[in-house]
Amino acid sequence: MIEVKNLVKRYGDHTAVNRLNFTVEEGQIYGFLGPNGAGKSTTMNIITGYLAATEGEVTINGHNILEEPEEAKKCIGYLPEIPPLYMDMTVLEYLKFAAELKKIPKEKREKHIKEIMSLVKITDMKNRLIKNLSKGYRQRVGLAQAILGYPPIIILDEPTVGLDPKQIIEIRDLIKSLGKKHTVILSSHILSEVSAVCDYVMIIANGRLVASDTPDNLSKLTLGSNTVEASIKGTRNTVVKILNQIEEIQNIKYKDSELPGCVDVTITTAKDKDIREELFYKMAGARCPILHINSSTMSLEDIFLQLTENPGKAEKAKTETPQAISAEESEAAQAGESEKVSGEDENVPEEAAEDEMPPEKGMEKVSVSGKPNEEGEQ
């Protein structure tokens, strides 16, 4: 239905979209998920023919967006990040105007507009000037404009930004119902939103596709490992030596602890391994008391962070960020990050010297679970 090949967009020497490849199939809801500045709007503007790509190709239902823009655009309804509304028109005037532009046959227009207004719940506002509408209602008018003519593909750029929680739920429900008859692509920087609404998620960061799969499969990535965080009293040398004796450990990160005389460690093991008892007895034997221990499985948020953020930064944010993560929130969480000490110690095992889980870990698994991660690296 939509095919995007090797898409590149450069602004001067800044690459906003960097070799994106993906295919969108009919009748599904797709989510573009990524932090602010990831390249979501740029990609959507190119797909919808509002912006020319630097390189690459977009085909909509077999029509190349550059060679047959009219045919291609006919298949798409688009709600851009800033909806193209005319403030001095009433809702009805605006929708009539939009219907005319979309060449909806005159005799059908009135009935169709009525139906769409009822669908997005703006009928009561039809005679209001758009400039007098609240943000939520303006967004709905923008959405109405995108749905007019029931195009097979509906593309919505951050459709719930700036809405209150009740409006967000309504718009999400509306998107879900649209997904029954249309192919929908929406963008968001909020993970919970995308996993609540979408059949398929494409995570983009720095203009690249870093993962793409169903929310379920992305969640399964979280089943891959367990983490144990502990503050252990003792010298780093001793702690490292003892941890080296525990076979089940896959990866260790060391950090300076806020507790005096302690080392903070984050240990990764396979999901089915629980090393806490062994850790307790071994550390007790070496007279290195564990002052704090916490075990967790990786959440979808953690994976999102690992894939989209500087991998070194993801670790701290992980412990502090609840529920839905927006880019701003995660940045805030990282701001207070304490310095990590890398394992330069000669006793540090090879894996531990990494000081952090490689981001490729998640990516590897995503591509295993099947879908386009090709061109991941140049």
Residues at the site binding Mg ion, with contacts judged by CB under 5 A: 40-41, 81
By a kind-dependent CB cut-off of 5 to 8 A, residue 38 interacts, out of Mg ion, ligand ADP, none, with ligand ADP
Q: Is 249 exposed, middle or buried (0-12, 13-18, 19+ CB in 10 A)?
A: buried
By a kind-dependent CB cut-off of 5 to 8 A, residue 139 interacts, out of Mg ion, ligand ADP, none, with none
User: Judged by CB, which is closer to ligand ADP: 328, or 374?
Assistant: 328
Q: At its nearest, how many Å lie between ligand ADP and the CB of residue 65?
A: 17
Query: Which residues contact ligand ADP (rule: CB under 6 A)?
Result: 11, 14, 16, 34, 36-42
Q: Distance between CA 146 and CA 153 in Å, rounded?
A: 10
By a kind-dependent CB cut-off of 5 to 8 A, residue 208 interacts, out of Mg ion, ligand ADP, none, with none
By a kind-dependent CB cut-off of 5 to 8 A, residue 351 interacts, out of ligand ADP, Mg ion, none, with none
CA angle 34, 219, 26 (to 5 degrees): 65
User: Judged by CB, which is closer to Mg ion: 161, or 196?
Assistant: 161
- Do β-strands 290-297 and 225-233 pair in parallel, antiparallel, or remain unpaired? antiparallel
User: Judged by CB, which is closer to ligand ADP: 14, or 111?
Assistant: 14
What residues does 256 pair with on adjacent strands? Answer: 263
Q: What b/e readout covers 150-188, taking b as 16+ CB neighbours within 10 angstroms?
A: ebbbbbbbbbbeebeeebbebbbebbeebbeebbbbbbb
Q: At its nearest, how many Å lie between Mg ion and the CB of residue 362?
A: 23
User: Judged by CB, which is closer to ligand ADP: 14, or 287?
Assistant: 14
Note whether 264 and 256 are within 8 A (CB).
yes
By a kind-dependent CB cut-off of 5 to 8 A, residue 39 interacts, out of Mg ion, ligand ADP, none, with ligand ADP
Q: Is 29 exposed, middle or buried (0-12, 13-18, 19+ CB in 10 A)?
A: buried
By a kind-dependent CB cut-off of 5 to 8 A, residue 132 interacts, out of ligand ADP, Mg ion, none, with none
User: Judged by CB, which is closer to ligand ADP: 41, or 266?
Assistant: 41
Q: At its nearest, how many Å lie between ligand ADP and the CB of residue 12?
A: 7
User: Judged by CB, which is closer to ligand ADP: 16, or 363?
Assistant: 16
Q: At its nearest, how many Å lie between ligand ADP and the CB of residue 32?
A: 8
By a kind-dependent CB cut-off of 5 to 8 A, residue 167 interacts, out of ligand ADP, Mg ion, none, with none
Residue 126 is given by DSSP the state: T
Tokens representing 373? 């991660």
Instruction: Report CA-CA distances (Å) from 9 to 6, 36, 62, 234, 353.
Output: 10, 16, 22, 52, 37
User: Judged by CB, which is closer to ligand ADP: 36, or 118?
Assistant: 36
User: Judged by CB, which is closer to Mg ion: 33, or 240?
Assistant: 33
Please give the order of strands across the beta sheet that includes 14-24. Answer: 14-24, 2-11, 55-60, 63-64
Tokens representing 257? 């602890």
Q: At its nearest, how many Å lie between ligand ADP and the CB of residue 157?
A: 7
Q: At its nearest, how many Å lie between ligand ADP and the CB of residue 364?
A: 24
SS3 at position 17:
strand
Residue 198 is given by DSSP the state: -
Q: What b/e readout covers 309-345, taking b as 16+ CB neighbours within 10 angstroms?
A: bebbbbbbbbeebeebbbbebbeebbeeeeebeebeb
By a kind-dependent CB cut-off of 5 to 8 A, residue 11 interacts, out of ligand ADP, Mg ion, none, with ligand ADP
Q: Name, in order, each residue with C-beta under 8 angstroms of 316's C-beta and a sequence gap of 6 or more.
A: 333, 334, 336, 337, 338
Q: At its nearest, how many Å lie between ligand ADP and the CB of residue 207?
A: 7
Q: Which residue has the tokens 């007790």?
A: 284
User: Judged by CB, which is closer to Mg ion: 41, or 195?
Assistant: 41
Q: At its nearest, how many Å lie between ligand ADP and the CB of residue 198?
A: 16
Q: At its nearest, how many Å lie between ligand ADP and the CB of residue 136?
A: 21
By a kind-dependent CB cut-off of 5 to 8 A, residue 56 interacts, out of Mg ion, ligand ADP, none, with none
